[in-house]
Structure 1
């Protein structure tokens, strides 16, 4: 199962659709956004994102942040070990943008590939916070079996936290974790994370 899944995984995961707020029937923020938004620094830590294995992009609207992973693959079953059953990545993003704005993580989507038998369950969680600001946004997405193929699942935060005003940079911390249980049956998850950003003008 392991060799076959890894051979077929990447093209299917890449083909998974990017899920936008509009496609989900949710309200898309229509307020002003900065003309310039850049990721000027990326730090990676965790079993799911060794150095150089994550790519971060911001779309042209400045409202969608996409993080793709090349090594974030969770697997269970014969031949796997404890390090395969659970993966995590702490991603620290140094964001630079025009003066007078603040932003938050409005929603998060996970897309990718899952191969999960009946009786098994995958679970992915995301937390976001800003360095120097109290408060944390938390998201949870479940992948119950039986399923095989590309997926896109969405979640909204339980608490919304905003970056500080009065600055042109903010450090956004994302900590994502995925696991599969039970671990005896063959199963697999690989993910891409899409984060919808909301902007507001600072007073």
Structure 2
């Protein structure tokens, strides 16, 4: 497990890189008390998370996330995942949801094969989740940059000042006998997941 502890969100570089804009309806202060990453797609030391200063834009990068099918590959190669767990603290009277996600990487998928990536968001101790699906049908080859929105919104619970946000990123390829690849892109050497958060006042 790779754990990054961020005591305050004074990440000016991350804010500039992600183009952060302070939202009108948002807490005055957002704090990330801890981030953990665990899964076959993010071995220790191979993933990183950046959060902008407003707690609105998030970027997770994976340097060894690779899915591969074809001769000589095994079941462990056909599907990868990484679960991100983030402990958020903010002003009372607010709740948030995930607006959309953006995923960047590289694929090499022949005709007859299909890749799929899913980003599933949920809140610990609160029912429901929001799933963002990205389809990569073959034939396809090169860097990709795909955006998607959820079918169902899922808001964090009201009545407190903390929420634990979970994101499970999963990618797979099928059928497994055809040679295909989803991996880090050739420019950054990383597979990247960005997601934006929307805040609102809790109903009174």
How far 1:30 sits from its partner (Å)?
A: 5.5
For the structure 1 residues 91 and 158, does the alpha-carbon distance in structure 2 shift closer, same or farther, using more than 3 Å as the test?
Answer: same
More displaced stretch, 61-70 vs 154-163 = 61-70
Q: What residue number does 1:195 align with?
A: 195
Q: Does the aligned pair in 2 maintain the 1:19–1:109 contact within 8 Å?
A: no
Cα deviations by residue, 1:114-142 (Å, 9 ceiling, x for unpaired): 11122211011121111111111112110
Matched, 1:48 2:36: no
Note the residue ranges of structure 2 that are not aligned, 5 or more in a row. Answer: 1-16, 184-190
Cα deviations by residue, 1:2-58 (Å, 9 ceiling, x for unpaired): xxxxxxxxxxxxxxxx999xxxxxxx9964223332332122222112233221112
Q: What residue number does 1:132 align with?
A: 125
Give the TM-score, by structure 2 length.
0.78
Total equivalences in the alignment: 179
Q: What residue number does 1:142 align with?
A: 135
Matched, 1:177 2:192: no
Cα deviations by residue, 1:84-132 (Å, 9 ceiling, x for unpaired): 1111122211112233321111112211111112221101112111111
Q: What residue number does 1:23 align with?
A: none
Counterpart CA distance in 2 for 1:125 and 1:31 is 30
Counterpart CA distance in 1 for 2:64 and 2:119 is 17
1:3-152 equivalence runs, <5 A: 31-152=24-145
Does the residue aligned with 2:36 lie in a helix, a strand or coil?
Answer: strand
RMSD, aligned CA: 2.3
Q: Does the aligned pair in 2 maintain the 1:105–1:198 contact within 8 Å?
A: yes
Q: What residue number does 2:11 align with?
A: none
